[in-house]
Amino acid sequence: MSGTTNTSVSSSTEKGDGEGKTAAILIEGLKLTYSDGTEAVKDVTMEVPQGEFFGFLGPNGAGKTTTIKVLVTLLQPTGGRVEVNGFDVKSKAQEVRESIGYMPQETSVDEELTARENIRFACRAYGVPRERRAERIDELLELVDLADVGDKKSGGFSGGMKKRLDAAMALVHRPSLVFLDEPTTGLDPKARNELWDYFERINERGTTVLLTTQYLEEADHLCERLAVIRDGGIVARGSPSKLKRRVGVEFLDVDVEGGRDTAREAAEVLRGEGIFGGDASVEVTDRGLSITANDARSRGSRLMVALDDAGIQVTGFDVREPTLDDVFLAVTDDETDVSGGEDAGSRQGGSE
Ligand SMILES: Nc1ncnc2c1ncn2[C@@H]1O[C@H](COP(=O)(O)OP(=O)(O)OP(=O)(O)O)[C@@H](O)[C@H]1O
């Protein structure tokens, strides 16, 4: 099947969501093999509770968009079970579509139309009753800060404004769950921040959000929990802080007076004193040392004393905890496995 965006939904979803305990997304052993034999999704199992802001991360080609296309019923799974808002994606595709919003990677804004007309068009496509449309359009224009330019042609909008309009169009029928597929790619930091505010607002209103992104800072900022996909399978999952802890190391940069020669001497001192364990890596840089160790922070004062005793002057000292970039590098690097333990491959629980 092609990647056409299917927004042709026939009736409105004016759901009072949140009732009941149905998971927003339930995926068990999902497989998706394209007709040319590409196994884009080999085995994905995950659950997203209602109301959560959930991040779905992975390198290019990992299977994120394919998984989303199954969830929004643009592709039929070739194996496994998938339910969205309690509806099976195969047998209840129409019900699934009526209960979700989808903001695809490519824009669906019609540049010949004004912002208001674009949203009105989406209202028609999603079957929002005629008498509710005017109010809904005003409310959405306000929400995405486009009220001032509502009657201007969208062809003249910036990339960020178009994305905000796209997001508004995905929400006209007040879906309880929205899929945002790399919504901020290519935007400048200011436009990205504005969209973040907007996504946070819709999540605060009770909407479940599934976001794919290549910006780990974005996932760290917005998402309560994450799943990382690689080669069609989930390789790590948990809250951003839990995943960062799982990388298990801290990074310590020490600047010394005297450049590389002194830095080499400093590395010898640390080795001689046995300050860091065998798993630590101590690299000499132009400015000093770059140390990766489980307990870099707690060894900091011993390090300072040892270098001072050796007559080496420390001019800078910085401890950095792992970022999601470190997590991402670790889980997408074949050599490293941070996915171990109960969280890898199993369905997510509700905590952390
Ligand atoms: N229509 C298709 N037919 C055959 N193979 C496809 C098709 N669409 C995607 N693929 C392949 O399926 C795999 C997963 O692609 P997918 O687009 O789901 O990854 P992704 O994680 O979303 O990547 P990106 O971040 O680049 O969008 C890739 O190997 C891709 O080349």
Given this model, what pLDDT does residue 346 score? 41
Binding site membership of 38 for ligand 1 (Cβ less than 6 Å): yes
Q: Using pLDDT thresholds of 50, 70 and 90, give the confidence band for residue 12.
A: very low
Rounded to the nearest 10°, the torsion over CA 178, 246, 349, 103 is: 10
- Is ipTM over 0.95? yes
What is the length of the chain?
352
Extents of the domains making up the chain: 25-244, 249-321
| CA 175 to ligand 1 centroid distance, Å | 26
DSSP 155: G
Q: Using pLDDT thresholds of 50, 70 and 90, give the confidence band for residue 13.
A: very low
Does residue 296 surpass a pLDDT of 50? yes
Angle between helices 159-169 and 130-143 (to 10 degrees): 140
Binding site membership of 4 for ligand 1 (Cβ less than 6 Å): no
| CA 161 to ligand 1 centroid distance, Å | 27
Q: Using pLDDT thresholds of 50, 70 and 90, give the confidence band for residue 59.
A: confident
Looking at the chain, the whole-number percentage of residues with pLDDT higher than 70 is: 88
Binding site membership of 61 for ligand 1 (Cβ less than 6 Å): yes
Q: Using pLDDT thresholds of 50, 70 and 90, give the confidence band for residue 352.
A: very low
Q: Using pLDDT thresholds of 50, 70 and 90, give the confidence band for residue 333.
A: low
In the structure encoding, which two tokens stand for residue 340, read together?
């171990």
Does residue 2 surpass a pLDDT of 60? no
Binding site membership of 34 for ligand 1 (Cβ less than 6 Å): yes
CATH of range 25-244; options 2.60.40.10, 3.30.450.30, 3.40.50.300, 2.60.40.2470: 3.40.50.300
Q: Are 192 and 200 in contact (CB under 8 A)?
A: no
Mean pLDDT, to the nearest integer, of 163-179? 93
Kindly give, in sequence order, each residue whose CB lies less than 8 Å from that of residue 340, ignoring residues fewer than 6 positions away: none
Binding site membership of 226 for ligand 1 (Cβ less than 6 Å): no
Measured CA to CA, the distance from residue 236 to residue 221 in angstroms comes to: 18
Binding site membership of 106 for ligand 1 (Cβ less than 6 Å): no
Report the nearest-CA residue for atom 11 of ligand 1: 40
Q: What is the pTM of this model?
A: 0.76
Q: Ligand 1, from 35, 57, 65, 75: best to mutate by most atoms within 8 Å of Cβ?
A: 65
Report the nearest-CA residue for atom 7 of ligand 1: 34
Q: Look over the chain and give the mean of its residue pLDDT values, rounded to a whole number.
A: 85
Given this model, what pLDDT does residue 88 score? 97
Mean pLDDT, to the nearest integer, of 151-156? 96
Q: Find where tokens 């922070």 sit.
A: 297
Measured CA to CA, the distance from residue 176 to residue 7 in angstroms comes to: 16
DSSP 147: G
Binding site membership of 213 for ligand 1 (Cβ less than 6 Å): no
Mean pLDDT, to the nearest integer, of 216-241? 90
Tally the C-alpha atoms within 13 A of residue 276's C-alpha that lie toward its C-beta. Answer: 27
Q: Are 343 and 237 in contact (CB under 8 A)?
A: yes
Alpha helices of the chain — where are they, by DSSP H?
Answer: 64-71, 93-98, 115-125, 130-143, 159-169, 189-204, 216-222, 240-247, 259-273, 300-309, 324-331
Binding site membership of 63 for ligand 1 (Cβ less than 6 Å): yes
CATH of range 249-321; options 3.30.70.260, 3.30.70.1900, 1.10.3720.10, 3.40.35.10: 3.30.70.260
